[in-house]
Amino acid sequence: MESQLSHPNGQFGIDVGQNMHSTNLGMITSSIHALAIASGNKVLEIGHGNCHHLPLILKQAENIQFHGLEISETMKTEAELKNKAYLKPQKVEFTRYDGITIPFPDNSFDKAMTANTIYFWKKPLQFLEEIYRVMKPNGTFVIAFAQKEFMKDLPFVKEKFQLYNNQDLSDLVSKSSFKLISISDKTENVIGTANELINRNYAVAILGK
């Protein structure tokens, strides 16, 4: 399960992706609203999963360009299948990448977001700098993550996860070129692995270039 969460693959990966969409929708929606997308913005999402939420992004404003990045070929394919209608007319593109180097030129994006991926960044500071590179001046990057205290006791959280609380995130950002604009604490009810309702504490951090 831990491997599938970090890199969904095959039919089981598709099922995991659908489950992640359901359980992460609150965090994704909070991230989208925090971005404050404006007309004509070019938007990047890192680790979009099946991207069933793309219509929500596209309806935030007119004439949005969207680029999704995934390390999982399975999730890239699923995102393309679920969003066929948007691929051509809405300037939507999904790309598989290595999780390290973002395949876009400097100063490419007005807004960028990622939800529940920071735990899997191999070199967090280096990756933050890579995101900074592709952001336009005054660009906004939003990171949503479940709190360390919530995550640490989950049965599938093992050595692939690097967990964060607000202070950890603040410390990481302070070493990067980004400035931390705000961190908002949020709580939501989600279905746990045993089908029980649990309270998840998470944060939405807004970073600026």
**67: domain CATH number?**
3.40.50.150
Identify which of 74, 77, 94 has the alpha carbon closest to the alpha carbon of residue 7. 74
Query: In this predicted structure, what is the pLDDT of residue 130?
Result: 98
- The band of 12, judged by pLDDT with boundaries at 50, 70 and 90, is low
Number of domains in the chain: 1
Q: What residues make up the domain containing 49? A: 2-208
For range 24-46, the mean pLDDT: 96
The per-residue pLDDT for range 139-185, each reduced to its tens digit, is 999 999 999 998 888 766 777 789 999 999 999 999 999 999 999 99
State pTM to two decimals: 0.88
The per-residue pLDDT for range 95-131, each reduced to its tens digit, is 999 999 999 999 999 999 999 999 999 999 999 999 9
Q: Across-strand partners of 183?
A: 205
- The band of 1, judged by pLDDT with boundaries at 50, 70 and 90, is very low
Query: In this predicted structure, what is the pLDDT of residue 75?
Result: 87
Q: Across-strand partners of 180?
A: 207
